[in-house]
Amino acid sequence: MSVSPTIADTLPGLLAYRQRQSPDLPAYREWTGPGVTGDTWTWGRFGSAVSLLAARMAGAGLRPGDRLGILSPTSMRWELVQMAALACGASVVGLDPHHPAETVTRLIENTETRWLAVDREERIAGIGARALGALEGVVLLAGDTTRTWPAPTVRVEEIVARPHDSSGPATPGIENHSRPDGAALVTFSSGTTGTPKPIEYTHAQVLHAVQCIVESFPRLASPAQLLCWLPLANLFQRMIDFCAMARGDCSWMVGDPRAVMDAVRDADPHLFVGVPRFFERVHAGASERIAQLPGPAGWFTRRCVAKIVGKAHRRRLAGQTSPRNTWIENAVASRLRELFGRNIQYLVSGSAPLAPAIHDFFDAIGIPVYEAYGVSENVVPIALNRPGARRPGSVGRPVSRNEVSLSAEGEIMVRGPGVFSGYLGTEGTAPKPDASGYWATGDLGAFDDDGYLYVKGRKSDEFKLSTGRWVSPPAIERHLAGLHFVDHAVIGGESRKAVIALLVLSGDHDWSRTSRSDMERQLAQSLRELAGDLPSYQVPAGILLRREPLSIADGELTTNLKVRRRAIWDRHQADTDALYDRIDKARAEAPDANDGVVTVFTFL
């Protein structure tokens, strides 16, 4: 389907269309644990609840043009509050509950958010007094409270608890106070190099993006089962949910992302959207289980998996797809596909490049990953791999509504209806699109002869060694992150004499099966492979191995799990200095070795 103005020109209008077209189709299912499905909401029931909640919020003082922030994990109630606020003509600010309280306070103040929705009272406890005192309304997503709030309070529980008779008269239409050119969503820049900056999009811009995404997967089953498990503060997940509304799909709401693979077994999704780190963990977990299979059956399974992955690897290098397997190999691949249930058609990855080894694994088992590329400053995806137009390693071809070009330095530039006009509240003080409407993404890229776009890394991530040589971290990081016991790889060495790496070890790995000497042996082999593809000066001369995971709360990851390199290396300054001392000593003891051949390992 297409999301044309004849269907809807605002998001509440889109919900009203869906409510009229398929009132009895499931819209949301709350997943609460393995084998346990909470309440199921049809589109008719959901639309009716949105109408009632919007009336309550408007009666409490929410006005067109207001901003309402939602600070809560993923849930159906998050969506309910969002759509009710949009129907009131307000815009919705997504606030990630994983952010430290001081960051949440700063984002509320920077966006002049005057209404706040939270899932529990404790969320408000850490918010600064000035931001809290400026609130004009509070929405409680769950539970009841005897607390006296400084502003009018609306309780979602009173709406959700109302009985709904699906056999009764048609549900009331949504009273819509929004406009196509009115503000709809406020999201934030990724914040990899500093404080996230607010970005506002209109209803028309969001619907442009919905149409682009829906048109890119025309063969997706309808209605489809989807999983909503990424934070709804994340624009990526919110857009997928709006696409589900456009198509009439059902979203399974998963509040705990750590349990997503348990939810997959119950939901049997047709499409699954994730970030590279998720697919890396699935690959690592599958590899662990296969390695532990006992006896001849285990040996045979490992041999089959190695063969089909090897075929996928060779066909990818040759620019081919769909490895041809024997029936036995297909049987093994079919068992592995069951990781994502019986219905899976598409896996979609965004946020960062996916390692080639991960592509090879999923290609081998017959559920290829479609990489997409976007930036917070453009609500329309910049480029997508699509069925029939996919090239592993690329982010696909540009979406038709975007004009994409490269600057003389290779920076990706984009212009189109989804590009923002400037950061909210920072007029004249922050970058914005140039006079011709192009936004400089900060990403370096290249096109191949067939028009597929390859993202080479962040322009700001490149650094120079003290030797004058330039280093681009992403290729090195993707290679090292392919090791099954590594969660994250972070490259450093700016203004120093050699490249180093921080490897964050996987908490899911069975360390009883891997000794320290085994780990160093596997790392040394990986570095030798890396030396075959890159100049020797780009091979890490020292590696810090860390067991503590990277953390959003400590500022090491953004809310969409992008690595904040500078924050990580600032934390490990003393460890870095000690590592370089050991590198100097090792090189003095082996003066004839080339750069990168002598590698020092330090366990933190």
**Average pLDDT over every residue of 520-526:** 77
* pLDDT score, position 532: 67
Contact of 542 with 599, CB cutoff 8 Å: yes
* pLDDT score, position 169: 42
Confidence of residue 84 (pLDDT cuts 50, 70, 90): very high
Does 350 score more than 90 pLDDT?
Answer: no
* Crossing angle (nearest 10°) for helices 76-87 and 11-21: 110
* pLDDT score, position 173: 59
Tokens at 220, concatenated: 């997706």
Distance CA 566, CA 572 (A): 10
**Average pLDDT over every residue of 448-456:** 93
- Contact partners, residue 209, CB within 8 Å, separation at least 6: 239, 242, 379, 380, 381, 418
> What pLDDT, in 10s, does the model give residues 198-236?
999 999 999 999 999 999 999 999 999 999 998 898 888
Does 122 score more than 90 pLDDT?
Answer: no
**Average pLDDT over every residue of 155-175:** 68
DSSP string of 488-552, one letter each residue: EEEEE-TTSSS-EEEEEEPTTS-GGG--HHHHHHHHHHHHHHHHHHS-GGGS-SEEEEE-SPP-T
Distance CA 225, CA 18 (A): 16
Does 429 score more than 60 pLDDT?
Answer: yes
Confidence of residue 171 (pLDDT cuts 50, 70, 90): very low
* pLDDT score, position 30: 92
Main-chain phi, psi angles of 99, to 5 degrees: -65, 145
* pLDDT score, position 146: 59
* pLDDT score, position 10: 95
Count Cβ atoms within 10 A of the Cβ of residue 561 and give its class: 0-12 exposed, 13-18 middle, 19 or more buried.
buried
Distance CA 336, CA 249 (A): 26
CA angle 392-394-397, nearest 5°? Answer: 115
Contact of 288 with 508, CB cutoff 8 Å: yes
Task: Give me the residue label for tokens 């048109």.
Answer: 215
Confidence of residue 461 (pLDDT cuts 50, 70, 90): confident
Does 164 score more than 80 pLDDT?
Answer: no
Confidence of residue 596 (pLDDT cuts 50, 70, 90): very low
**Which has more confidence, 331 or 1?**
331
* pLDDT score, position 511: 67
* Crossing angle (nearest 10°) for helices 235-247 and 11-21: 40
Q: Which of 436, 407, 416, 409 is nearest to 375 (CA)?
A: 416
54-58, 328-332, 412-416, range with the lowest pLDDT: 328-332
In the chain, what are the helix, strand and coil shares in percent, each to the nearest 5? 35, 20, 40
427-431, 468-472, 481-485, range with the lowest pLDDT: 427-431
Confidence of residue 339 (pLDDT cuts 50, 70, 90): confident
Most confident region among 162-166, 273-277, 397-401 by mean pLDDT? 397-401
Does 192 score more than 60 pLDDT?
Answer: no
Distance CA 501, CA 545 (A): 9
Does 353 score more than 60 pLDDT?
Answer: yes
Q: Which amino acid does the sequence have at 311?
A: K
**Which has more confidence, 145 or 71?**
71
Longest alpha-carbon distance in the chain: 85
Does 537 score more than 90 pLDDT?
Answer: no
- Give the DSSP H or E segment for 38: strand 36-42
Does 129 score more than 90 pLDDT?
Answer: no
- Domains annotated for the chain, with CATH where assigned, are 11-253 (3.40.50.12780), 463-603 (3.30.300.30)
Q: Is 464 helix (H, G, I), strand (E, B) or coil?
A: strand
Distance CA 140, CA 81 (A): 10
CA angle 222-224-230, nearest 5°? Answer: 145
Task: Give me the residue label for tokens 């949301």.
Answer: 28
